[in-house]
Copies of this chain bind each other. A is one copy, B any other.
Amino acid sequence: MFAESGWTALNCEPEWGGQGLPKLVAAPVSEMWKSANHAFSLCPMLTSSAIEALVLSGSDELKQTYLEKMVSGEWTGTMNITEPGAGSDLAAICSRAVPQADGNFRIFGQKIFITYGEHDMADNIIHLALARTPTAPEGVKGISLFLVPKFMVDADGRPGERNDVRCVSIEHKLGIHASPTGVMAFGDKGGAIGFLVGEENRGLEYMFIMMNAARFGVGMEGVSACERAYQRARDYAKDRIQGTDIGVRNGAKVPIIAHPDVRRMLMSMKAQAEASRALAYVVAGAQDKAHHHPEADVRKQNQAFVDLMTPVVKGWSTEIGIEVASTGIQVHGGMGFIEETGAAQHLRDARISSIYEGTTGIQANDLIGRKIARDGGEALKTVIGMMRALDAELATQGNEHLVAIRRRLAAGVNALGKAGEWIVATHASDVHATSAGAVPFLMLFGIVAGGWQMARAALIAQSRIDAGNSDPFYQVKVVTARFFADHLLTRADGLADSVTEGAAGVMALAEDQF
């Protein structure tokens, strides 16, 4: 039904049956899938990654044989990357690809944590797997990408004989229970037939091309976790009658949303959902411009923005997704701890997003190393310049909320600038120190970037209010931005201090002193 309605083809290339819609449309749609069912949403997300790999690097024959069915959703796709000894460290991958007389390969090895590695929801599963050929150099430069179908495709394009790749176990996980996470055995019965995707030894390069999209997609899981946790908690808080208004004895019983602390929790959920969403959509729009804008300069600028912000969207949104889902449980009180209520599932589901597709630590090191130190902080300075340009606009506003928002944002931007300069100045000479501050820096960046987007939204909303528009949406937006400023942006200075002065406490102990 989902596939028949064409949802899987939303942002795929029209050449293979896709609708070719912009990322700025696809991202909000995918957010809704993720909010509705995180576990299910992984199947189209992983399939989409596999499609992208084939479109980018597959031979015409592979494209002809597989793409149309994958775009249509008849077949699903997987990414077989992780091995027991190779998680964050892809250099340690040791699955083998043995060349055959017919030009194809036999694949041997074990892959773990394979999302939708096995199921019977589709007629075929198209595994993309990383493995080494016998002549491959060591490390990350000796990894190739292979297509390994669950069922071999016959001359008529139909699934035929079973290939020698099997799911040997399904993991018992904390969350996303509806997503089968498989341990996959390749080649237990003579070797799984695999087809080389692109050129030998360039597998990791192909993975990196897809990685921005995949990381952005997981970042959207953070946004969706915030939203679904917020909606459930808000509904409960409006329904649940408990106590009287604070300060009133023997008054009428009120719904708990009347209690200031419940309201604070709901506002923190709402504000973080909206801030992370705004930031993600801005990055989605930049992706479209980076790919399709007619001017090369604009494409380049947007790509630099996307490269810089992707680890922030991935790392920050998924971390706050966990925090917000946990707050959602708290709003429910004791009922939040009961599984039937549903609030606990949001935390269980959200907890994976800061781990897979590169942990927050991996994102943060990518951010400070490849995205900031490497260009001497240029891309970061450009973004800080955009934030300061907004400050000039905010300076014209007299509304008390906007005055407060401007003050907090300015302090946050200064903190981000200071911490960024320290990273640029320190990374080459003391990578342990900058790496020790990498996650606090990523969180600082996320908060300030989220506050920037909330301030932008508040400015526009206030201009509508000033023009006489009485839609309450605008007033709510201004208040939500105000909350974000006073409760989230206030964390910025402390985080900046942890970045620039926190390494001593992190690195001083010997390993055996832990």
Binding site for B on A (CB under 8 A): 82, 85, 87-89, 91-92, 112-113, 138-139, 171-175, 234, 237-238, 241-243, 246-247, 250, 253, 255, 257-267, 270-271, 322, 326, 329-330, 333-334, 336-340, 344, 347-348, 351-352, 354-356, 359-361, 364-365, 400-401, 404, 431-433, 435-436, 438-440, 472, 475-476, 479-480, 482-487, 490-495, 497-498, 501-509, 511, 513-514
Contacts and interface: CB of A to CB of B under 8 A. Distances in A.
Contact of A330 (B267, B355, B438, B504): B355
16 contacts: A172-B338, A174-B337, A174-B339, A174-B347, A246-B432, A247-B432, A264-B439, A264-B506, A330-B361, A336-B355, A401-B504, A476-B509, A476-B513, A482-B505, A483-B502, A485-B505
Given A267-B505, A339-B174, A439-B261, A88 B242 contact: yes
A242 B87 contact: yes
A293 to B, nearest CB: 36
A261 B352 contact: no
Identical chains bound together, number: 2
B355 A351 contact: no
Interface of A is mostly: helix
Contact of A436 (B174, B260, B404, B509): B260
B486 A173 contact: no
Nearest to A242: B89
Contacts of A172: 338-340
A262 B498 CA distance: 15
Contacts of A475: 513
A138 B251 CA distance: 12
Given A436-B263, A486-B504, A351 B337 contact: yes
A116 B439 CA distance: 41
Contacts of A495: 490
Contacts of A401: 504
Given A337-B174, A438-B260, A502 B479 contact: no
Contacts of A511: 238, 255, 257-258
Nearest to A432: B260
B173 A337 contact: yes
B334 A253 contact: no
Contact of A514 (B113, B261, B270): B270
A495 B489 CA distance: 11
B338 A171 contact: yes
- Of A260, A348, A504, most buried by chain B (CB within 10 Å of CB) is A260
Contact of A238 (B485, B504, B514): B514
A480 B514 CA distance: 10
B486 A498 contact: yes
A401 B502 CA distance: 11
